[in-house]
Amino acid sequence: MAAAGSCYVIVGAGIFGVSTAYHLIRRYPEASVTLVDRDAFDADNRVAASWDWNKVMRADYDDPVYCELALEAQDVFTSDPLWKPFFHQTGLYWMCGRDYARGCVSNFERLGRHGDISVWPVEEARKLFGGLFDESDYTNVEQVLVNRASGWVAAGDCLQAVTRRVLGLGVKYVAEEVANLQFDPSGRCAGIETAQGRRLPASHVVLCTGASTPKLLEISAAASGLTNLQAGSRILAGGITTGMTRLDDDSYAKFADMPVGIQGYTTLKGNSACVPSQFLRVPPFMGSLPPTKDRELKWWGQKIFRNTKEVLPGRFISMPPAEADYAQWKISERLKEDIVNVSSVFYGNQAAKWKFEKHRICWDAFTTSSDFIISPHTASKGLYVATCGSFHGYKFFPVIGRYVVDMLEDTLPARLASKWAWDRERPDPSANPDWPSCEMKDLLDPVRDSRL
């Protein structure tokens, strides 16, 4: 149970962690709240999934829970002076299947927001937005979902601004990597220890640690003897590649007012470069974001991959690369090719002249259902988990922390508590098109063993 006099350590200063700190310190101004992250919040480079050039802000979900939650967040982005400067309401153009479009529209109608969203036949949709998507590849696309209220957020800038506000409200920030969780003799989580040896005691430790969550729990389980701390099959670390091109004057004039472009969740099986033909499934959704103030157009790729390594003798998990920056700027030619392929899916021959100047690998934590985990950890009192964005978490930044605080107070609505529970029945990942289905090692450039 949360209380004003409690001491909170929140590990991870991405959107889950910063949003939790924001709502916690506003609800309990006298509480001791500390954010701990391996990187300074204003560092030039960070490993957080939410530290990015831009992220999609959409409420277009066929899942009613996330649709409603995203609309709540969108209303904050469009009205609150703290958040509003970072939201660009460009609209969204989603090439999808009929069932997905129907589910999204049904949710909007139920919530009284049907004026925001419309569905178009492919041939009519091609003419929208000045014919910008006329050359797109519509294979397996049945309908196009258009939402004029969606858009994108200047992600890194927004994260930094909200963190500054949080610090101004009295939250402390420690820029050190967490090496281990600390436990008292009863097995209760009593704080954390950093890689530099600093110990921070706490009545509540909240793990908002994204892709590094399984590794931290494995190491803490081994050190404490509490083997049930391990994430097991609940959480998988996965990566995806993003790429950007800088537009020339003519191209910028054409694309400056474009909507977010998405293709995915079609109803027919598509091709996959990661799995054998007998296991083909609908490809994960891919997307294109409008140009930034620097005239940079961004895509994310189709290949979502894991990185299985031995974290401790005999213990294998997926985790980001061991380099301090997760090797996020070291991109193989195969992953760069993934971005080129996606650009041509959206813009056809127009993409042939573009040179991709920036690439980054982004890491996040996944569940088989793409649901978050916002829950007490059942293996240790005082330990809580709030993570697993599954590459769709950023849009909830303004509001997700309120639900984390509700969880800490044991007042989270029952339908959310069960959906986001640490221990719950989880579906087979084969039904999830966004599940990391490749191994990163299979997507790296070949290493030459000999010289001619």
pLDDT greater at residue 415 or residue 3: 415
Which pLDDT score, from 0 to 100, does residue 115 have? Answer: 80
The residue among 73 and 285 whose pLDDT is bigger is: 73
Give the residue-averaged pLDDT of 66-74: 98
Mean pLDDT along residues 137-157:
96
For domain 7-440, the CATH superfamily is FAD/NAD(P)-binding domain (3.50.50.60)
258-281 pLDDT, tens digit each: 999 999 987 655 444 554 444 445
Torsions phi, psi for 295 (to 5 deg):
65, 30
Give pLDDT, residue 267: 62
What is the C-alpha to C-alpha distance for residues 151 and 304, in angstroms, rounded to an integer?
23
pLDDT of amino acid 116? 83
Q: Is the pLDDT of residue 1 over 90?
A: no
Q: How confident is the model at residue 365 (pLDDT cuts 50, 70, 90)?
A: very high
Lowest mean pLDDT among 72-81, 181-190, 430-439: 430-439
Q: What pLDDT, in 10s, does the model give residues 368-397?
A: 999 999 999 999 999 999 999 999 999 999
Is the per-residue pLDDT at 351 higher than 90?
A: no
Q: What pLDDT is stored for residue 274 in this prediction?
A: 53
The four Cα atoms 285, 288, 290, 295 give a dihedral, to 10 degrees, of 150
Mean per-residue pLDDT of the chain: 93
- Which helix (H) or strand (E) segment holds residue 250: the answer is helix 249-255
Average pLDDT over every residue of 131-154: 96
pLDDT band at 201 (very low <50, low <70, confident <90, very high): very high
When pLDDT is averaged across residues 120-128 and rounded to a whole number, the result is 97
Three-state DSSP at 375 gives: strand
Model confidence pLDDT, tens digit, residues 53-63: 999 999 999 99
d(CA 95, CA 126): 10
pLDDT higher than threshold 60 for residue 155? yes
Where do the domains of the chain lie?
7-440
- Residue 361: pLDDT above 80? yes
pLDDT of residue 326 exceeding 70: yes
pLDDT score for 271? 46
* Cα(265)–Cα(433) distance, integer angstroms: 8
**Cα(152)–Cα(343) distance, integer angstroms:** 18
Residue 90 pLDDT class (50, 70, 90 cuts):
very high
